[in-house]
Structures are given as C-alpha cells and as structure tokens.
Amino acid sequence: MSTPGSHVDRLLEFFSKWDSDFETMVQSFRDIFAENCAWWNADALPMVHGIDEAIEKVLIPSRDTALAMECIRVDMVNVAQTGNTVFHERIDHILKKDGSVVISIPIAGVTDFNDDGKIVSWRDYANPIGMLDIIAGKTPEVTA
C-alpha cells in the first residue's frame, strides 16, 4: 500500500524520466501505467486505455510527425495530493533530438493512482491547437 505523499513523489519521478530520450520516456509509461489506465489528453487527442494504446496513439505519433518529439522537459508549477489523486500544473517543453524546443504547453492535470502506486486515470487539460498545427505541418499561431 502507498504511503501519504508517495503519489506526488512517484509522479515527479515519472515526469523526470521524460527528459532523456524517447525510449526512456516510453519505458517510464510502462513502469507506472496500470494495465487498463485511461489517459485523456484534451479534446483533440484520443482517449487511450492501457500502455499499448498510449504508445501507439499518442507517443509514437508525437515522434513520427512534424512534432518530432524526442523527449519532454517538464517544469512543475504546482502539485498537490488528496487521497490517491494528484493535481498538477506544469509546462511541458517538447524537445527534438537536437535538444531544441518545438513547443511549450501549459497543462493542468489530474492523475489517479491505485494503492500499488500505478496510474489508473490521467486527465490533462491544455490547449492543443499549437501542437496539432505542428503535427499537421503548419506553423502555430502565436497569441499574446
């Protein structure tokens, strides 16, 4: 059984593994997702269930499109836990292989853990338009 605060620690460790390379990031998902984890990334991206769908429908397309994601540097702004739920406000910086930032996305997320420390549900709330423009090969519009 998990101890209080351990879900925040586990989530922060998960995010820290994204800032390495694509294979390490994918492995971090394998390590923390429960078998049938539901992951929702804003309205424009598909809801996925389980690690295989997460890799196939979210991670690989993010690498193999114009987004060219190699890894993600996460800047945590705020994080709090109540029970098995962790609320997090962060900025995801999508990086190419050469380390250049493709786009930075402010995100508010809610992640639910089971008692074994695995993610069973994850919802990210963000404006995906800039990222979707890049995936489609368009230059994202900059808003002030």
Domain 6-135 CATH class label: alpha beta
* Cβ-contact 71, 20 below 8 angstroms: yes
Amino acid at site 12:
L
- Rounded mean pLDDT, 114-118: 95
* Cβ-contact 108, 127 below 8 angstroms: no
Rounded CA-CA distance 17/103 in Å is 19
User: Coil, helix or strand for 134?
Assistant: helix
Q: Is the pLDDT of residue 1 over 50?
A: no
> Which has more confidence, 45 or 80?
80
Residue 128's contacts (CB-CB under 8 Å, 6 or more residues apart) are: 41, 42, 43, 44, 45, 105
pTM for this model (two decimals): 0.84
Domain ranges of the chain: 6-135
Each residue's pLDDT tens digit, 61-104:
889 987 889 999 999 999 999 999 999 999 999 999 999 998 89
Q: Is the pLDDT of residue 43 over 50?
A: yes
